[in-house]
A and B are shown apart, each in its own frame.
Chain A
Amino acid sequence: MKLFARFLKIPFWSWFWLILGVLYYFLPLYATLDFSLRMERGKISLKAYQMAFADPEFLRTFGYSIFLAVMTIIVSIALVVPTAYWVRLRLPQARRFVEFITLMPFVIPAIILVFGLIRIYSSPLTIPFTSITLMQPLTNFKVGTNILIIGGYVVLGLPYMYRSVDTGMRTVDVLTLTEAAQSMGANWPTTIIKVILPNVRTALLSGSLLTFAIVVGEVILASFLGVPAFGPYLFLLGQHRAFEPAALSFATFLLTWAAMGIIQLVTGGQSQSSGAH
């Protein structure tokens, strides 16, 4: 009887849903891992990983994606930190409008963003009512495409970077910091770079890692803008290979896990989600 009473105290349904959820999380990952290890018939090996990582095309596209991610993070920080700072300090009436802009990417999915970008920037910039061309279409040359795709990625990461930085600034009281810095004779750039930036570094790190996770595997902007990035490479590889794509998918998962794990560590549980699908 006592045993039965104790059994009743076990939160049966909680365990049921937990197990169901955990199965949903892990079965696809396990299946991918299992499949990726079976390239050599009849035994478990890392052959698929060796093959995938040794492909020069992989190295090129992955390196390129990392370059794009780093550039996106730099531009995002340069854009978001002064803006969030200024809005907090001098321009609270702009808050609603700035927040509206940072939420726009939730309403304009990547596929629509790239649609609009291509339509705007695939024609040359001319002086109105003349045929004098100021600039070639951005989509026509490499630097132009890079500008477009990095700009697009900054947009995709904007909600996370802005929210992260803004929350960071709320917790450190930027106003007092600024007054302290300026009463010691610091000018504006010094204040931002030497005082504000170090104080929101946790927020910057988590915003950057989320941006990194979005950019490295991104496929929509990259494929429509015709950029040789990792996302389109993985997609094409999946068309004619079996084991290597599984290996790279699992590796991508580990990379996402690393990024999220670090965010979890530095922010102490203020987990976020990007939703760039």
Chain B
Amino acid sequence: MENTNLSARKNPAAPMNWKHWFGVLPFFIFAILFLFLPSIRLFVGSFTDNTGKFTFDNIQQLFSQRVIVDAYKVSIELSAMTALGGGILGFMLAYAITIGGLPKFLRPALITFSGVASNFAGVPLAFAFVATLGRTGFITAILKNVFHVNIYQTGFNLYSFWGLSLTYMYFQFPLMVLIMAPALDGLKKEWREAAHNLGANNLQYWLKVAMPVLMPSILGSIILLFGNAFGAYATAYALTGGQLPIVTILIGAQMRGDVLHNPGLGYALAIGMVVIMAVSLLGYSWLQSRTERWLK
């Protein structure tokens, strides 16, 4: 912000006029062609019936059609589960490498690796988990041969909800590490010292000082993780072959061959997803702006 004010102030000779908008014209044209037009098309389509007339039917059917309600339910459960699980593991790991008292050299290594892991997704990730927890996977074999536990007889299945959750966690918790590490750095030593001088013990310091400061950041990150999982398609498709009915898989099937027998409903399905993603991003940025007051 400061910089933009600066440039505006330093340039009194360049009055703001409409000609300046030409400089960003290519960017806006690109955005219209590849972002706005496609979104508007889906939006308009979701309010259009098969004869091209305006209708609220598609939106209503989002809440009444069994297939769709179930898909949203599984998607939300999957995203919430992995956001929470990834959030907890990621937070603890970020704590361990920042203020947890571990050797200093571990931090850059783990941060780099988190950058890699949070970008390692889709088809290769699915294959990696098949090699790990599939029927003949590495861990499956160790558990069977060493501990005599056949996890596939206890009801576990990699190609199901829980298997997909474990797979999603692989890109979820590193993302949490990346967001939380700077936030934990922002906890000032003086706060802890001040709290101790006033007679607070460790638990009181965490409950009364550290947690209230970190809370918006933690919640915001978990919401971001939720959106991250909610929009995922490739990993789920490669792992379950389209068997697990989540929203993105249903949209994919609708694109391939109108499985809902109503194009408008397909558009509405997509728009419903955009709305959920938008709400979670807004929540994230609102909470993040609350954090920045403290963690400068």
Question: By the criterion CB–CB under 8 Å, are B116 and A256 in contact?
Answer: yes
Residues of A74-120 contacting chain B, CB below 8 A: 79-80, 82-83, 86-95, 98, 101, 103-120
Report chain A residues within 8 Å CB of B100. 11, 13-14, 17-18
Given known A-B contacts A91-B24, A273-B175, A234 and B123 have beta carbons under 8 A apart: yes
CA distance A273 to B227 in the complex (A): 14
Q: Check A155 against B35 for contact (C-beta < 8 Å).
A: yes
Partner of A246, one of B38, B127, B170, B178: B127
Are A117 and B34 in contact, with the CB atoms below 8 A?
Answer: yes
A213-230 with Cβ < 8 A to chain B: 213-214, 217-220, 224
Contact between A94 and B115, CB atoms less than 8 A apart: no
Binding-face segment, A26-34, A59-67, A127-135: A26-34
Enumerate chain A residues within 8 angstroms of B106, measured Cβ to Cβ: 18
Residue in B34, B92, B93, B123 with the greatest tally of chain A CB atoms within 10 Å: B123
Whether B129 lies near A28 (C-beta < 8 A) is yes
Find out whether the CB atom of A272 lies under 8 angstroms from the CB atom of B115: yes
Per the CB 8 Å criterion, the residue count for chain A at the interface is: 93
User: Closest B-chain residue to A214, C-beta based?
Assistant: B119
B102 to chain A: closest CB distance in Å?
5
Q: Scoring B residues 184 to 195 as 1 if CB is less than 8 Å from chain A, else 0, what string do you get?
A: 000000000000
Q: Which one of A170, A219, A263, A272 lies within 8 Å of B3 (CB-CB)?
A: A170
Q: Is B20 an interface residue (CB 8 A)?
A: yes
**A11-B102, A260-B112 in contact; A28/B170 too (CB < 8 A)?**
yes
A217 nearest CB neighbor, chain B only = B122
A248 surroundings in chain B (CB, below 8 A): 124
CA of A115 to CA of B263 in the docked complex: distance in angstroms?
11
Tell me whether A20 is interfacial, beta carbon within 8 Å: yes
Contact of A264 among B16, B115, B132, B227 (CB under 8 A): B115
Contacting pair A274 B119 (CB below 8 A): yes
Interface residues of B in 257-274 (CB under 8 A from A): 266, 270, 273-274
Residues of B within 8 Å of A246, CB to CB, are: 127-128, 131
Q: Identify which of B92, B127, B171, B278 contacts A249 (C-beta below 8 A).
A: B127
Q: Does B118 contact A (CB under 8 A)?
A: yes
Contact of B234 among A93, A106, A219 (CB under 8 A): A219
Q: Min CB distance, B119 to chain A, in Å?
A: 5
Rounded to whole Å, the gap between the CB of B199 and the closest CB of chain A is 23
Interface contact A87-B16, CB-CB below 8 Å: no
A276 close to B (CB within 8 Å): yes
A257 with B277: CB separation less than 8 A: no
**Binary per-residue interface labels of chain A (154-181) against chain B in the complex, 1 for a CB within 8 Å, 0 otherwise:** 1100000000000000100001000000
- Given A27-B139, A94-B24, A115-B251, A217 and B131 contact (CB-CB distance below 8 Å): no
* Residues B23 and A91 in contact, CB atoms below 8 Å apart: yes
Contact flags B211-239 to A (C-beta < 8 A → 1, else 0): 00000000000000001111111110010
Bound together, the chains give a CA A264 to CA B93 distance in angstroms of 19
Contact indicator per residue, chain B 1-38, by CB within 8 Å of chain A (1) or not (0): 00111111011001010001101101110110111011
User: Can you list 12 pairs linking A and B with CB atoms under 8 Å apart?
Assistant: A11-B100, A14-B101, A17-B100, A18-B97, A21-B110, A35-B138, A82-B27, A83-B23, A101-B28, A115-B251, A154-B34, A277-B235
Interface residues, chain A, with chain B CB atoms under 8 Å away: 11, 13-15, 17-18, 20-22, 24-25, 27-32, 34-36, 79-80, 82-83, 86-95, 98, 101, 103-120, 151-152, 154-155, 170, 175, 210, 213-214, 217-220, 224, 231, 234-235, 238, 245-246, 248-250, 252-253, 256-257, 260-261, 263-264, 269, 271-277
